[in-house]
Amino acid sequence: MKQIHVMHTFANNDGVPYITWFMKRAAQERNVRYSFLLLCAQKPKMLDEVRSYGFQGKWIHFDPARRKRGMMAALPRMWWQMLRWRPDIVHGHLFDDTLPAMVAARMAGIKARIITRQDSGFHLFYAPKWVFLDRLATKLSTRVVAVSGDTRKLMVQHEKAPPAKVGIVHHGIDPAPYLADHTAEAAAIRQQLGLGDAYPVVGTVARLIEWKGHRHIIEAARLLVRDHPRIHFVFCGTGDRENALRQLVKDAGLDKHITFTGWMDRSRIPALYSILDIYLHAADHEPFGFVLAEAMMSGTPVVTTRTGGVADVAEDGRSVIFAEERSGKALAHGVQRALDADLRNIGQEGKKLALLSFTFDRMWAGYMEEYNKALAPK
């Protein structure tokens, strides 16, 4: 079997867990060879990691503060590297690298050009004047991989991507941190947050920005506290909506029922999941939703809006509870449904599903299938 040479492009990213795992797998199996073009303001540490596995890597200076100029400057250098290294496939991952990568690959005569779309919806919802560039990148590609059905739907409906061109490969995550014993750290976090005899503890891990839906969770808290006086909500994250959300909490008289943790080191997040009786997610759109997969792997029962990769695989009422709309009333109803059900069973079913659906092995197999499709004779 001919070894496939895949050139990956990344911008503003100095370490990608699944790519590290992929490099280990590729070095072992030798059926695929990688090379990397890394667009960063400073020399990325990832470059040394790439080379340690015997793969080629090139740092291309890119200033994210001057994105348009940076992409234009990067384009000819990307084109030149593609001419030199002659990959079978160019695979773009993030908008800032994908657009120049697809243009450069087309110019270099690379016939298989793949995009992973994991940021769909951002331009559509928050910068619609730039949607035409998403459409351009999609048009220049020969194959698009969406990270969820939600993402695929947005691309087909709003970016006019041909349905047959867009496949789905869910992200994979390392389960080890979420399966480990966090008893000591969990106790420390519970004490730090002053949770005492609070029950149920309902938490969310997300940036404090509008589209994550924290204001709807605050409204849900206002409704739930009437019947559950010991209920407590934990908001883990930072963002530009923090002051406004704190004011909403104060105005609703929920200061004793909602705690803002601020920034929390990623190493502590698995322990945080373990203290939650329910993980509650209220985003209007998630390209994939890593936190949902993480919480499920931790065995924490999940109540969420119907979005991200979880919506593709989960059964309502069995492995998760879906809130049918993004509102305080619907979220409160979802939490109450979970409390009325067997919480432990929902958590265990969700854990089994996540360990089956969101693994590196499954992601690897999905991408190998996509690479073969991209290289198949037309």
Average confidence score pLDDT of the chain: 95
Per-residue pLDDT of 36-56, as tens digits, reads: 999 999 999 999 999 999 999
Asked if pLDDT for residue 378 goes beyond 80, the answer is no
Q: Do the beta carbons of residue 141 and residue 117 sit within 8 Å?
A: no
Per-residue pLDDT of 340-361, as tens digits, reads: 999 999 999 999 999 999 999 9
Q: Full-prediction pTM beyond 0.85?
A: yes
Per-residue pLDDT of 56-83, as tens digits, reads: 999 999 998 899 999 999 999 999 999 9
Same fold yes or no, 4-172+359-375 and 176-356: yes
Predicted local confidence at residue 1, as pLDDT: 61
Q: What is the mean pLDDT of residues 141-157?
A: 94
Per-residue pLDDT of 198-226, as tens digits, reads: 999 999 999 999 999 999 999 999 999 99
Residues 6+ apart with CB under 8 A from 287: 117, 118, 119, 120, 121, 147, 148, 150, 151, 308
Residues 6+ apart with CB under 8 A from 224: 231, 332, 335, 336
Per-residue pLDDT of 264-274, as tens digits, reads: 999 999 999 99
Asked if pLDDT for residue 114 goes beyond 90, the answer is yes
CA distance 208 to 237: 6
Q: Domain 4-172+359-375 belongs to what architecture?
A: 3-Layer(aba) Sandwich (3.40)
Predicted local confidence at residue 71, as pLDDT: 94
Question: What residue type is 305 in one-letter code?
Answer: T
Q: What is the mean pLDDT of residues 91-108?
A: 96
Domain boundaries, the chain: 4-172+359-375, 176-356
Fold of 176-356: Rossmann fold (3.40.50)
Predicted local confidence at residue 328, as pLDDT: 97
Per-residue pLDDT of 16-35, as tens digits, reads: 888 999 999 999 988 999 99
Per-residue pLDDT of 273-328, as tens digits, reads: 999 999 999 998 899 999 999 999 999 999 999 999 999 999 999 999 999 899 99
DSSP 104-147: HHHHHT-SEEEEEESSTTHHHHH-GGGHHHHHHHHHH-SEEEES
Predicted local confidence at residue 18, as pLDDT: 87
CA distance 371 to 112: 8
Q: What is the mean pLDDT of residues 151-159?
A: 91
Residues 6+ apart with CB under 8 A from 262: 238
Closest CA to 348 of 138, 179, 186: 179
CA distance 69 to 100: 11
